[in-house]
Amino acid sequence: MSQTDANTMAHPLKRTPLYDLHLKLGARMVPFAGYEMPLQYTAGILKEHLHTRASAGLFDVSHMGQIIVRPRSGVLADAGHALEQLVPADILGLAPARQRYGLFTNAAGGILDDLMISNRADHYLLIVNAARKDADEAHLRTHLAPICEVQRSDRALLALQGPKAEAVLASLAPACASMRFMDVREMVIAGAACIVARSGYTGEDGFEISVPEEAATRVAEALLSHADVAPVGLGARDSLRLEAGLPLYGSDLDEATTPVEADLSWAISKVRRTGGLRSGGFPGSDIILGQIANGVLRRRAGLRPEGRQPVREGVQLFADAEGGEQAGAVTSGGFGPSIQAPVSMGYLATRFAAPGTRLFAEVRGKYIPVEAVTLPFVAHRYKRD
């Protein structure tokens, strides 16, 4: 019996509310973060990827955690202060109906998870990674219990991504057209009360739509009935985020990696940095703020292999073609369908991380030249104004 079978028997895989729809659409289902999820549909990863960049793709991301953090006092700032003890972002400065990217850090400055935080007027809504949601919920309860109620939502989560996402969603909910990147609004879609954020994980314009569980299939089918929309699985979700230079928790981010090393210093709000009004006060703040001031020994960077061969997670990188001096390692890699070339990201010793540095990746005993590059590989097309 394989390890996967043993795990499956100990912890049966969960299904999202869209499970039956996935099967109806011809999905190939795979285990992912404890769920049976669609890897791809009949079109395949390559076509689903390109369709998202050209038109609009619909993703089921209901496996992700949706956690509500509500102040017991009824004063949102009390919850904001409490969350700032765990997240190095400016949460008190987050306006109502706005969303922001954040990180849970540990005492060593490492990353426990990355997440989106929405100001929902009387509470915060946190969207966290599927594999981390139980740990995140426990972490929030441990630290916030006296101040906040922490509650898991069982709503479904859909992502509609791509240049035609706005036109498609506006055909069902016209108000979405006036939203900007990182706006959050309540709107009725196909008769269901949804929470819509203008954000995503593909580098494209698009929306993430939190839907009541019982309405999930209806909303998904309403979106799929539009000629411009195709269902897109986890395979293309990964190649899309990789081209967009977006890190994946568990591959590119982990508890032993700090936000500064991960090139996510931009997620440490100015007000939380040295000299800021609410400087520090989050786990590992001394280490993280010290790294912002003094630099780091290794850093996440983009990697562009020569030729067509993908250079994947775990591949070691060297300064020379003989594998003498190690320069770093790849943490995510694959093929970028939009640029028709292999794309990777990884961690490089800082002296090798400058864009243009030529390195060598050891793949099956051969050394493939790769170039350190600035991320992303495909420019973001968010609707910023």
Partner 1 sequence: MLRFTEDHEWLRLDGDIATIGITAHAAQQLGDLVFVQLPDIGSKLAKGDGAAVVESVKAASDVYAPIAGEVAEVNDAIVNDPSIVNADPQNAGWFFKLKLADPKAFDALMDEAAYNKLIGA
Contact set with partner 1 (CB under 8 A):
39-40, 44-47, 49, 235-236, 238-239, 308-310, 312, 334-335, 337, 342, 364
Shortest distance (Å) from residue 238 CB to partner 1: 8
Proportion of the chain in helix, strand, coil states, percent, rounded to 5: 25, 35, 40
Shortest distance (Å) from residue 47 CB to partner 1: 8
Buried b (16+ CB within 10 A) or exposed e, 54-81: ebbbbbbbbbbbbbebbbeeeebebbbb
Alpha carbon distances (Å) from 15 to 31, 199, 278: 10, 24, 42
Rounded CA gap, 368 and 385, in Å?
42
C-beta closer to partner 1: residue 28 or 143: 28
Bridge partners, 229 (sequence order) = 56
C-beta closer to partner 1: residue 2 or 294: 2
C-beta closer to partner 1: residue 364 or 384: 364
C-beta closer to partner 1: residue 71 or 342: 342
C-beta closer to partner 1: residue 235 or 245: 235
Shortest distance (Å) from residue 313 CB to partner 1: 11
The DSSP symbol for 64 reads S
C-beta closer to partner 1: residue 280 or 376: 376
Shortest distance (Å) from residue 347 CB to partner 1: 21
Shortest distance (Å) from residue 280 CB to partner 1: 41
Angle, alpha carbons 340-382-336 (nearest 5°): 15
Rounded CA gap, 287 and 266, in Å?
16
Angle, alpha carbons 248-182-115 (nearest 5°): 35
C-beta closer to partner 1: residue 308 or 384: 308
Order of all β-strands in the sheet with 192-197: 184-189, 192-197, 206-211, 156-161, 56-60, 229-231
Shortest distance (Å) from residue 233 CB to partner 1: 10
Shortest distance (Å) from residue 40 CB to partner 1: 7
Q: Are strands 326-336 and 111-119 parallel, antiparallel or unpaired?
A: unpaired
The CB density around residue 365, as the number of other CB atoms within 10 Å, is: 6
Q: Which two tokens stand for residue 371?
A: 């170039």
